Amino acid sequence: MRTDGQTLRGNEMAIPHVDLESVKEWAKATFTKERITEAALCAATVGVTGMVVFSLHRAMENYVIMGF
């Protein structure tokens, strides 16, 4: 069987050609300062909420809450 020389053999991996300028332009257009700030605020909110829920869970395991 003859091939054109572009066929992969075995476990070889094809790495496509990437135009870095187009990637840079896409990143500048996509990752604006506003979006980065919004993502940071969301991550901080999720982190703080998780800490509060975990703390409440631990408190309910270890302490008897009177009145319930």
Tell me if 31 is assigned to some domain.
yes
Does residue 45 contact residue 38 with C-beta atoms inside 8 Å?
Answer: no
The pLDDT value recorded for residue 34 is 94
pLDDT in tens, 10-66: 666 667 777 888 888 988 999 999 999 999 999 999 999 999 999 999 988 888 767
Tell me if 12 is assigned to some domain.
no
pLDDT in tens, 31-46: 999 999 999 999 999 9
Tell me if 29 is assigned to some domain.
yes
Structure tokens at 24: 């840079």
pLDDT tier at 9, thresholds 50, 70, 90: low
pTM, whole model, 2 decimals?
0.55
Number of domains in the chain: 1
Domain limits for position 32: 20-62
Tell me if 53 is assigned to some domain.
yes
Tell me if 1 is assigned to some domain.
no
User: Around Cβ 7, how many Cβ atoms within 10 Å?
Assistant: 8
